Structure formats: C-alpha cells, structure tokens
Amino acid sequence: MLGFHDVMRCARCGQTLRQPIGAETTCSSCGTALHTCAQCASFDPGARFECLQPIIARVSPKDERNDCTDFEPRVTVERQTRPEVTGPRSTKQAFDDLFK
C-alpha cells in the first residue's frame, strides 16, 4: 500500500539522500556539499539573515559548506508513488506489478 514517507533531498539537484549528513558529506549525484544553509531545516529566505535560528551574523554563500552548529538536515514528507523494493525482482514479477 502506498502512503507517505520522510525524504531528504539535495537542495541543488533533488537527488534522494540515504546517508546521514556529516560535516564533509557531498551529494553522490552532483558532488555539492550537503552541510550548507540551503540544505538546513532552519533556512528561510524571509527570516533575518535567512535563518530561523538566532544567529548574530549572516552566513554567505548559502550553498557552500559551513560549520554551523545549529545545522539540521531538511526532511520533507512526500507521497510514495511506488512500493519500496527490498530485494531483487524478476521481470515477470515487475510485469505483474503493473496490473495490481
């Protein structure tokens, strides 16, 4: 049954991220740094210094790696459009799944 699930995506290319984000983590698809303001849950372009946390100075640029201690990766809730596959599937099984 399809439902909803939590997803982390790269702020630059939209690739789904499956590994935890550390200080030196980069996107496996586009190679951009992931410990950035643009990837953070507190990033808000309408807030003071574009951050919801009480910071004393603006961090710039927003899409480059930084050492912010308030960093928390942005997680969104998305609708699952297909069931997750945990093991290898046969061609016949994949075909049969089209008609369920």
Q: Rounded to an integer, what is the distance from CA 83 to the centroid of its chain?
A: 20
Question: pLDDT by residue (tens digit) across 28-58?
Answer: 888 899 999 999 999 999 999 999 999 888 8
Instruction: Render pLDDT for 3-22 as a digit per residue (tens, 0 to 9).
Output: 887 888 888 888 888 888 88
Which long-range contacts (C-beta less than 8 Å, at least 24 apart) are formed by 39-42? 39/10, 39/11, 39/73, 39/74, 40/68, 40/70, 40/71, 40/72, 40/73, 40/74, 41/72, 41/73, 41/74, 41/75, 42/70, 42/71, 42/72
pTM: 0.70
Per residue in 69-93, pLDDT tens? 889 999 888 887 766 655 566 777 7
- Looking at residue 1, its pLDDT comes to 53
